[in-house]
Amino acid sequence: MRDGEFWHRVLNTVSDGLFMVDAQGRICEVNRALCGLTGYTAEELLGRPCSVFQCDICVEMRTGAVADWCKLFSDGEVTRKRCSIRHKSGVEIPVLKNARLMPEAGGRTDSDRSEAVFSVETVTDIRELVKRDDYIQRVEKLYRPVSGFEGMIGVSAAMQTVFRRIEQAAQSNAPVLLLGESGTGKELAAQALHRLSARRDFPFVEVNCAALNEQVLESELFGHVRGAFTGAFRDREGRFASAHNGTLFLDEVGDIPLTVQVKLLRVLETGVIHRVGSDKGQKVNARIVSATNKDLSGLIEKGLFREDLAFRINVVPVHLPPLRGRTEDISLLVRHCLKIIQTAGSYGALSVDAALEELFAGYRWPGNVRELRNMLEYGAVMSGGGRIGLEHMPEHFRARPPIRDTAPATDFASAAQYARGEEPGGAPRSSSGGKERGRKEEILRALDACGGNVSKAAALLGVHRTTLINRMLRFGMKLSRHVDGA
């Protein structure tokens, strides 16, 4: 057997991709495994520059080269470097690369780089390893202790965006406006901002602007001196002064009266407060975080909110998504809430039926996370601890749970529901009664054929089990009569 033929056989027994590159950067040898990995034939690769693989590490090494076209020819080797190469089709392939310089046959040792005439490089396909690592990370994220992000729970893309925005905002002193429906966790977001900021060692002070009338709110924000008004028996420090060097959280900022808005704007522009009843100014340095569930643009159009104040507090907006927009977080939130309820109420181990949790995913949650916790606490009380099922839920949920595919905007009948062609609870109007009766009969036949097993009936009908449960509830069919096929 000739030396060349023997050499080729040896190369093709190597399971990793292998190729050789000469001192000018041209590919001079490849093995079968490399062709299989990259999609190129040997004829397509031989003589071409090794940049054909578009390796991200090679780009860096070529950029950093001084005397040679590639840093490899000055550094001598690359060991177990994780990188990616590009398949002929354009797909990136994660690989582990090793490369070493080789001298001319019979020359001096390969440690003498001046004698190196080519390099030998191997690439190991690690796609399965990367896929496994990604899977492990997703599982760990799902089942890790539900402490979440600074007390906020969520693995959904929407919440990951919120977490990144909070981290970014925490690095500055710019005013932040938290926007979102009631119960979406705006207070938790404000606390997270504070804890992640350089002000974390100073006070976090909260003011609920909707809970106080005009005079009391002004006094709460700026303080007052003795005798400033009836009942002012002593000097009082305001929340701005209390939050000096820390964070002042203005919750429900859309409810601030116009007269107080003017004074608040002045403080934000000058950094100076005046206590009620005093002309003496006091410098304050508090980071402002505001929150509202109202449409500030609509309030501005109605003359109820100053546009210049809106600009001042809305430098960095952060939108908190409603729970119905991140249903993949519901399981985590259920576990988190049950843990809190169990600890506070001295219950035994609490759990939620799988069928009920699936219904949670289709509910509109007008009260968002706050409503979820309250409903679970109600369920814990009604069940006496232990397993919580649909029968332990509040009447409004059991009677007509809003299902996503026919969901009303709230729990109760409204003109908006009727305009969309829905009756209370999301059921279609009677004009389609014949079609709906036919669908109900179809479900009954499927359940009968499957011995009442919901999962098997869903498979027979070609729909998801959750969809079938939703339809059964819409038609007033009791789940307790049928077998849960979980």
- The whole domain housing 209 covers 157-319
In this structure, are 63 and 91 located in the same domain? yes
Crossing angle of helices 330-345/354-362, nearest 10°?
A: 120
In this structure, are 227 and 334 located in the same domain? no
28 is a domain residue:
yes
Most confident of 33-37, 128-132, 347-351: 33-37
Strands 247-251 and 204-208, bridge-based pairing: parallel
In this structure, are 401 and 441 located in the same domain? yes
Q: Which of 261, 296, 319 is the last residue of a domain?
A: 319
Q: How many domains does the chain have?
A: 3
Window from 136-140, 207-211, 361-365, 421-425 with minimum mean pLDDT: 421-425
In this structure, are 93 and 166 located in the same domain? no
In this structure, are 243 and 166 located in the same domain? yes
CATH of the domain at 392: 1.10.8.60
Distances in Å between the Cα of 248 and the Cα atoms of 114, 242, 288, 383, 444 are: 66, 9, 5, 41, 58
Q: Which of 300, 319, 338 is the last residue of a domain?
A: 319
In this structure, are 203 and 118 located in the same domain? no
In this structure, are 451 and 466 located in the same domain? yes
In this structure, are 58 and 78 located in the same domain? yes
The residue with greater pLDDT, 173 or 66, is 173
Residue 351 clears pLDDT 50, i.e. is over it = yes
146 is a domain residue:
no
Residue 404 has a pLDDT of 44
472 is a domain residue:
yes
142 is a domain residue:
no
Mind listing the pLDDT tens digit for each residue in 31-90?
999 999 999 999 999 999 988 988 866 755 554 444 444 666 566 677 878 888 889 988
Residue 138 has a pLDDT of 60
Window from 113-122, 134-143, 155-164, 261-270 with minimum mean pLDDT: 134-143
The residue with greater pLDDT, 229 or 279, is 279
Mind listing the pLDDT tens digit for each residue in 416-457?
332 233 333 444 434 445 556 777 878 887 787 777 887 777
Residue 2 has a pLDDT of 58
The residue with greater pLDDT, 467 or 189, is 189
CATH of the domain at 99: 3.30.450.20
Q: Which of 319, 346, 368 is the last residue of a domain?
A: 319
- Reading the block at residue 3, the tokens are 């030396």
In this structure, are 315 and 329 located in the same domain? no
In this structure, are 163 and 118 located in the same domain? no
Mind listing the pLDDT tens digit for each residue in 240-275?
999 999 999 999 999 999 999 999 999 999 999 998
The rounded percent of the chain whose pLDDT value lies above 70 is: 78
Q: 237 Cβ partners below 8 Å, 6+ apart?
A: 223
In this structure, are 399 and 385 located in the same domain? yes
CATH of the domain at 174: 3.40.50.300
State how far the Cα of 422 lies from the Cα of 401, in Å rounded to an integer.
Answer: 13
225 is a domain residue:
yes
Judged by phi (left if over 0) then psi (alpha if -120 to 50, else beta), residue 181 lies in beta
In this structure, are 202 and 347 located in the same domain? no
